[in-house]
Amino acid sequence: MSPLFPALAERSTTPALQFGDRTLSHAELATVAGALAARIAGAPRVAVWATPTLGTAVGVVAALLAGVPVVPVNPKTGERELTHIVTDSSPALVLAERGAELPPVLATLTRLDTDVADIAPDTVPLPAEPSPQAPALIVYTSGTTGPPKGVVLPRRAVTATLDALADAWQWTEADVLVHGLPLFHVHGLILGILGPLRRGGSVRHLGRFSTDGVARELSSGATMLFGVPTMYHRIAEALADDPALAKALTGARLLVSGSAALPVRDHERIAAATGRRVIERYGMTETLMNTSVRADGEPRAGTVGVPLAGVELRLVDETGVPITAYDSETVGEIQLRGPNLFTEYLNRPDATEAAFDDGWFRTGDMAVRDPDGYVRIVGRKATDLIKSGGYKIGAGEIENVLLEHPGVREAAVTGEPDEDLGERIVAWIVPAQADAPPSAEELAAHVGAQLASHKRPRTVRYLDALPRNDMGKIMKRALHG
Ligand code: MCA
Ligand code: AMP
**112 contacts 28 by C-beta, under 8 angstroms:** no
Distances (CA, A) of 296 to 168, 169, 215, 246, 254: 8, 8, 25, 22, 11
Residue 366 included in any domain: no
Q: Which ligand is nearest to the CA of 261?
A: 2
Residue burial 263-273, b: 16+ Cβ < 10 Å; e: rest: beebbebbbeb
Entry pTM: 0.97
Distances (CA, A) of 282 to 262, 378, 445: 11, 13, 32
Task: Return the residue whose CA atom lies nearest to atom 22 of ligand 2.
Answer: 260
Boundary (domain end) residue, out of 196, 229, 263: 196
Residue 297 included in any domain: no
Q: Which ligand is nearest to the CA of 187?
A: 1
Residue 270 included in any domain: no
Residue 330 included in any domain: no
CATH of the domain at 455: 3.30.300.30
Residue 177 included in any domain: yes
Amino acid at 337: R
Residue 296 included in any domain: no
Amino acid at 213: G
Centre of ligand 1 from the C-alpha of residue 4, in Å: 30
Structural domain that includes position 112: 6-196
| CA–CA separation, 131 and 302 (whole Å) | 38
Boundary (domain end) residue, out of 157, 173, 196: 196
Residue 184 included in any domain: yes
Cβ-Cβ contacts under 8 Å for 55 (sequence gap 6 or more): 95, 96, 97, 113, 114, 115, 116
Nearest atom (ligand 2) to Cα of 281? 19
Return per-residue pLDDT of the chain as tens, 481 residues: 789 999 999 999 999 999 999 999 999 999 999 999 999 999 999 999 999 999 999 999 999 999 999 999 999 999 999 999 999 999 999 999 999 999 999 999 999 999 877 666 667 778 899 999 999 999 999 988 889 999 999 999 999 999 999 999 999 999 999 999 999 999 999 999 999 999 999 999 999 999 999 999 999 999 999 999 999 999 999 999 999 999 999 999 999 999 999 999 999 999 999 999 999 999 999 999 999 999 999 999 999 999 999 999 999 999 999 999 999 999 999 999 999 999 999 999 999 999 999 999 999 999 999 999 999 999 999 989 999 999 999 999 999 999 999 999 999 999 999 999 999 999 999 999 999 999 999 999 999 999 999 999 999 999 999 999 988 899 998 997 6
Boundary (domain end) residue, out of 146, 168, 196: 196
The answer to whether the Cα torsion of 447, 449, 455, 459 is positive or negative is: positive
- The whole-angstrom distance between residue 31's C-alpha and the CA centroid of its chain comes to 28
Residue 186 included in any domain: yes
> In angstroms, what is the C-alpha Rg of the chain?
22
The total of structural domains in the chain comes to: 2
Around ligand 1, the residues with Cβ closer than 6 Å are 181-182, 185-188, 209, 228, 230-231, 258-259, 283-285, 389-391, 444, 453-454, 456-458
Q: Please, is 478 exposed, middle or buried when counting C-beta atoms within 10 Å of its C-beta (0-12, 13-18, 19+)?
A: exposed
Select from 76, 165, 185 the residue to mutate for testing ligand 1; criterion: most ligand atoms less than 8 Å from CB. Answer: 185
Select from 230, 425, 441, 460 the residue to mutate for testing ligand 1; criterion: most ligand atoms less than 8 Å from CB. Answer: 230
Which DSSP state fits 193? I
CATH of the domain at 78: 3.40.50.12780
